Amino acid sequence: MVIAKRVGVDVILWLVVACFVVEGNERARPIAGPDIYEGRNVAKDVLAPGEIINNVMSFGAKPDGKFDCTQAFMDAWRATCKSKVQARVLVPLGRFVVSAMYFAGPCTTPGPVTVQVEGTVVATTDISEYVDGEWLMFQDLSGIKLIGGGTFDGQGKDSWSQTENCETDSDSACVRAPSSIFFSRVNNGIIQNIKTLNPKGFHIFVTNCANIRLRLLKLTAPGTSPNTDGIHISHSINVKISKSNIETGDDCVSMIQGVNNVTIKRLKCGPGHGISIGSLGKYQDELEVRGIRVENCTLVGTTNGLRIKSWPEKYSGLATDISYSDITMENVKNPIIIDQEYQCSPGMQPSLVKIANVGFINVKGTTISPIAVDLRCSKQFPCENIQLHNIDLKLLGPILPSGARCANVKPVYGGIQMPPACP
Predicted local confidence at residue 27, as pLDDT:
59
Predicted local confidence at residue 8, as pLDDT:
36
Concatenated DSSP letters of 362-408: EEEEEES-SEEEEEE--SSS--EEEEEEEEEEEEPSSSPPPEEEEES
Q: Is 64 exposed, middle or buried, given 0-12, 13-18 or 19+ CB atoms closer than 10 A? A: exposed
Predicted local confidence at residue 2, as pLDDT:
37
CA pair distance 405, 402, nearest whole angstrom: 10
C-alpha closest to that of 107 among 127, 87, 123? 87
The verdict on residue 5 lying in a domain is no
Straight-line distance from the first to the last Cα atom of the chain, in angstroms, rounded to the nearest whole number: 60
The verdict on residue 190 lying in a domain is yes
Predicted local confidence at residue 15, as pLDDT:
35
* Total of domains in the chain: 1
| 126 contacts: CB under 8 Å, gap ≥ 6 | none
Residue-number span of the structural domain to which 213 is assigned: 52-158+177-418
Q: What is the phi/psi pair of residue 111, to 5°?
A: -130, -175
> What is the tens place of the pLDDT at every residue in 373-415?
999 999 999 999 999 999 999 998 766 678 999 999 999 999 9
Q: Are 31 and 210 in contact (CB under 8 A)?
A: yes
Residues of the chain with pLDDT under 50: 1-26, 169-170, 172
Q: Is 368 exposed, middle or buried, given 0-12, 13-18 or 19+ CB atoms closer than 10 A? A: middle
Predicted local confidence at residue 33, as pLDDT:
86
Active site residues: 273
Q: Are 277 and 322 in contact (CB under 8 A)?
A: yes
Beta bridge partners of 267: 244
The verdict on residue 294 lying in a domain is yes
Predicted local confidence at residue 173, as pLDDT:
61
Q: What is the pTM of this model?
A: 0.92
C-alpha closest to that of 44 among 195, 189, 147, 152? 147
CA pair distance 367, 392, nearest whole angstrom: 10
The verdict on residue 372 lying in a domain is yes
83: enclosing H helix or E strand: none
Q: Are 390 and 374 in contact (CB under 8 A)?
A: no
Predicted local confidence at residue 399, as pLDDT:
62
CA pair distance 270, 140, nearest whole angstrom: 33
The domain that holds 277 is classified in CATH as 2.160.20.10
Concatenated DSSP letters of 54-79: EEGGGGT--TEEEEE-HHHHHHHHHH
The verdict on residue 200 lying in a domain is yes
- How many DSSP H helices and E strands does the chain contain? 2, 28
The verdict on residue 30 lying in a domain is no
The verdict on residue 12 lying in a domain is no
